[in-house]
Amino acid sequence: MSDAPVFDAPVFDAAFLERFDTLLRWRRDVRHFAATPVAEEDVQALLEAATLAPSVGNAQPWRFVRVRTPAVRALLADHVDAENVRAASGFEEPARRDAYRALKLHGLREAPELLAIFCDERPAAGHGLGIATMPEMLRYSCVTAVHTLWLAARARGLGVGWVSILEPAAVSALLDVPQDWTLIALLCLGHPEAPSHTPELERRGWQAREPLADRLFER
Ligand SMILES: Cc1cc2nc3c(=O)[nH]c(=O)nc-3n(C[C@H](O)[C@H](O)[C@H](O)COP(=O)(O)O)c2cc1C
């Protein structure tokens, strides 16, 4: 079998790299959504983009659940709101607790689309390659799919909000998924109310981005 490419490989020129950098800088976690629906072809394009992500052993362990039932959406939002109240009470310092309460940390009631991404912990694809010592690689693979979807959404002017203030087992039960699936992400998807260059947590004084130099080590 020949390894020769069937198509000419594209060249990503300087102009593309600059645009790509802009995409990375303008990707945001979004919690404020306009009511405008997301075009079905965009939803499909995002899901297809997510499946281009890398995965251990090419196992493609991601499983996508679209939340289409209003009653299920309402139960998810109620669950996250309840967990959010619990999380707030975990902050002992009153000023920090008040600051936490003032944050908007999900758009589950307004976002036009909700998507849950699960990891199939026993995927048939991949034949177990790469997970003998680090089975968590399957979950990491699903995270790469989430990030791929996130960027593909932003490139189309859509926003994604990752919601993690929840009990994964409760969400799995609400979405009635197989036992072998682990929740990776609950995502809100829609048109952002306003695009932003700066993370919302930074704009609200909770946590700013920090310099790479503080995160880079050499040995
Ligand atoms: C794994 C993960 C979980 C997150 N969970 C939440 C969440 O529950 N609620 C929320 O408002 N943002 C959540 N975020 C978004 C982060 O707050 C956000 O990525 C960070 O503040 C940086 O902002 P940016 O994504 O706009 O650059 C999550 C992000 C990641 C990667």
Q: What is the pLDDT of residue 7?
A: 81
* pLDDT score of 18 more than 70: yes
- Work out the mean pLDDT of the chain and round it to a whole number: 97
Instruction: Write the pLDDT tens digit of every residue in 164-208.
Output: 999 999 999 999 999 999 999 999 999 999 999 999 999 999 999
* pLDDT score of 75 more than 70: yes
* Mean pLDDT to the nearest integer, 60-74: 98
> Which sign does the torsion angle of CA 89, 91, 95, 101 carry?
negative
Q: What is the pLDDT of residue 115?
A: 98
Output the CA torsion 39→43→49→54 (10° steps). Answer: 160
Nearest CA to ligand 1 atom 21: 201
* pLDDT score of 77 more than 90: yes
Å from CA of 114 to ligand 1 middle: 16
Q: Which long-range contacts (CB under 8 A, 24 or more apart) does 126-133 make?
A: 126/55, 126/56, 126/57, 126/58, 126/59, 126/60, 126/61, 127/57, 128/57, 129/56, 129/57, 129/58, 129/59, 130/56, 130/57, 130/59, 131/56, 131/57, 131/59
Ligand 1 contacts CB of residue 53 (under 6 A): no
Ligand 1 contacts CB of residue 199 (under 6 A): yes
Q: What is the pLDDT of residue 6?
A: 73
Confidence at 5, pLDDT banded by 50, 70, 90: low
* Mean pLDDT to the nearest integer, 30-52: 98
Confidence at 2, pLDDT banded by 50, 70, 90: low
- What domains appear along the chain, each with residue ranges and CATH number? 28-205 (3.40.109.10)
Nearest CA to ligand 1 atom 28: 162
* Mean pLDDT to the nearest integer, 124-144: 97
* Mean pLDDT to the nearest integer, 7-26: 96
